[in-house]
Amino acid sequence: MKIAVIGTGYVGLVVGACFAENGNDVICVDNDQTKVRGLQRGRIPIYEPGLEELVRRNRAEGRLTFTTALDRAVRASQIVFIAVGTPMGEDGSADLQHVLDVARDVARAMKGYTVIVDKSTVPVGTANKVREVVRLQTTHPFSVVSNPEFLKQGAAIEDFMKPDRVVIGAEDPRATDIMKELYAPFTRTGAPIMIMDCASAELAKYAANAMLATRVSFMNEIANVCDALGADVDQVRMAVASDRRIGSSFLFPGVGYGGSCFPKDVKALLRFSQDARYEFGILRAVETVNEAQKARMLMKLDAHFGSLKGRHIGVWGLAFKPKTDDMREAPSITIINGLLARGANVHAFDPEAEQVARGIFGSRIVYAPGSYDAVTGADALVIVTEWSEFRRPDFARMKRLMRAPVIFDGRNIYNPATMRALGFTYHSVGRP
């Protein structure tokens, strides 16, 4: 099939490359010229495992191309995906400016029947808005489809190639058939293609993210109660997870959720529920708990040191989660800003996010070239992101390098008893 994907970010690039991998002809469009020029030369602007190879192969075979010329891409395509950002507006709502701009440009460019697919995460009612914008600009027939994306950064290709489900909001049979055919190769293992109305498809994406964010905040509160009462959240978690009605995913306490999706999607769901005169009580609390959880790590450091002024604090992990370089709304930002505000000197290491971090902190922190460099001379180490390479460090070497063997583990990646035996002062989340 002939496909255009507008917006070549974390979602658009993965989606475009994966559709090409399944034999479709894909043109990826972005209005960021530098990004497109880089992609035309094989430079991948983000870190996502497996993506570089996938893009290279499909470019070489001529199925995947990159351009800034939206009109030509649209004219050459039967299906156009809108995968641009929907950032958080000032009042918490999803900002639809990019989506609606692209819809208008697509409408002006199309030359025959086109399926316009909302891939971006958009509030309920957006498919109708897109339909209106398009209708005003063209006399050609078209369908608007809502096809929210559920991939996880860090495992995006695997998630897209083998989805748990494909959700399609479509209100006419022609578009439904085209979307079913497009996704058929991705669902051969039995994953369902769920066809529904656009409003339900739009809400399904927010509901999934809000549910996951709720689990995170819930477990963070359980961990805080463990801290207060001397229980062990690992034991509690395993007992809870063994209940098949609950399951084991997303039950790990930590320093709060971040990323480009949960914070903004929780806010947007709160906002559009409120616009519909519904106060989403649980979700308000999920957000409050998450903010408090990020601050809690700083409170633990305050309690340990009294004053952090002049202290050298090593930080492991800057990305909002492992296997990505994305730092949008990362807890590391709150924690590092808090450390800097208290007068600490921060030496941070992340395997992939250093360049992104430079754009955020500039010269206010030291960018260590490796994990051991970050802790050399440190009064404490704070672990913010659980990259696998942090899981089995040489503790004896760390002890020799650090000024004091103190670790604040925001991701519970070590065993408290082992750490005690090794002579570390070890603080984790919800474990005695």
Residues within the interface to ligand NAD (CB under 6 A): 6-12, 29-32, 35, 83-86, 98, 101-102, 120-121, 149, 151, 153, 260-261
Give the DSSP H or E segment for 201.
helix 198-229
Which of 35/271 has CB closer to ligand NAD?
35
Show the tokens assigned to 132: 């209106």
Residue 377, amino acid: G
Minimum separation from the CB atom of position 11 to ligand NAD (A): 4
Which of 83/297 has CB closer to ligand NAD?
83
- Please provide residue 293's backbone torsions phi and psi, each rounded to the nearest 5 degrees: -65, -35
Residue 363 DSSP symbol:
G
| Contact by Cβ (8 Å): 175, 155 | no
Minimum separation from the CB atom of position 241 to ligand NAD (A): 24
**How many other CB atoms are there within 10 angstroms of residue 292's CB atom?**
15
The number of angstroms, rounded, from the C-alpha of 394 to the middle of its chain's C-alpha atoms is 30
> Rounded CA gap, 17 and 13, in Å?
6
Which of 80/419 has CB closer to ligand NAD?
80
> Rounded CA gap, 157 and 19, in Å?
11
Give the DSSP H or E segment for 315.
strand 312-316
Which of 151/378 has CB closer to ligand NAD?
151
Residue 385, amino acid: T
Catalytic residue from among 18, 28, 226, 261: 261
Minimum separation from the CB atom of position 344 to ligand NAD (A): 31
Which of 85/405 has CB closer to ligand NAD?
85
226 is catalytic: no
**How many other CB atoms are there within 10 angstroms of residue 140's CB atom?**
12
Q: Which of 184, 189, 326, 322 is nearest to 260 (CA)?
A: 326
DSSP-assigned letters across all residues of 78-125:
SEEEE-----B-TTSSB--HHHHHHHHHHHHH--S-EEEEE-S---TT
Q: Which residue's C-beta sits nearest to ligand NAD?
A: 9
> Crossing angle for the helix pair 262-275 and 198-229, nearest 10 degrees?
120
Strands 406-409, 64-67: pairing is unpaired
Which of 98/411 has CB closer to ligand NAD?
98
> Rounded CA gap, 24 and 358, in Å?
38
Which of 77/120 has CB closer to ligand NAD?
120
| Residues recognised as catalytic | 261
